[in-house]
């Protein structure tokens, strides 16, 4: 496959687990851990899929997603949002802002891998 995935997540254990499972599947994985400059990192890395945590230091994943959807360069980027909060309103907010998929923690590695594979399909 060789597609590029950017993971924006501030919990090292989650970053390591997701990075491992995606890399093992042949994907190139880069990671970033704060929300402050996340939009710049997405623009610079130009990933095929973005895995974005909702709760990040400096800026929320929702704010980042909104900026990405308002930018011509990134508005079509497939985004899998991850959150520790699985409430309906969080899911609705993610969908309203344009998340491609939404997943609540804890999640299985197989579910994350399948979601990323699905987002990579044309």
pLDDT in tens, 72-118: 999 999 999 998 876 788 889 999 999 999 998 889 999 999 999 99
The reply to whether the predicted model has a pTM over 0.75 is yes
Q: In what order do the strands lie in the sheet with 79-83?
A: 28-32, 4-8, 49-53, 79-83, 101-104
Residue 91 has a pLDDT of 86
Domains in the chain, number = 1
Range of the domain at 93: 4-120
- pLDDT tens across 9-65, in order? 999 999 999 999 999 999 999 999 999 999 999 999 999 999 999 999 999 999 999
Q: Output the domain CATH number for residue 79.
A: 3.40.50.2300
Cα–Cα distance measured from residue 56 to residue 35, given in angstroms and rounded to the nearest whole number: 5
Q: Which residue has the higher pLDDT, 4 or 2?
A: 4
Cα–Cα distance measured from residue 72 to residue 60, given in angstroms and rounded to the nearest whole number: 21
Cα–Cα distances in Å, from 100 out to 75, 77, 91? 11, 9, 11
């Amino acid at each position: 496959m060789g597609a590029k995935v950017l993971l924006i997540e501030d919990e090292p254990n989650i970053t390591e687990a997701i990075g491992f499972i995606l890399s093992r599947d042949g994907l190139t994985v880069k990671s970033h851990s704060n929300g402050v400059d996340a939009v710049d990192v997405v623009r610079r890395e130009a990933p095929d899929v973005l895995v974005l945590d909702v709760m990040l230091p400096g800026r929320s994943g929702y704010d980042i997603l909104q900026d990405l959807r308002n930018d011509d360069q990134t508005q079509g980027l497939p985004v899998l949002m991850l959150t520790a909060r699985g409430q309906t309103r969080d899911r609705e907010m993610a969908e309203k802002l344009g998340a491609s998929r939404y997943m609540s923690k804890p999640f299985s590695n197989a579910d994350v891998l399948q979601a990323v594979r699905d987002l990579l399909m044309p």
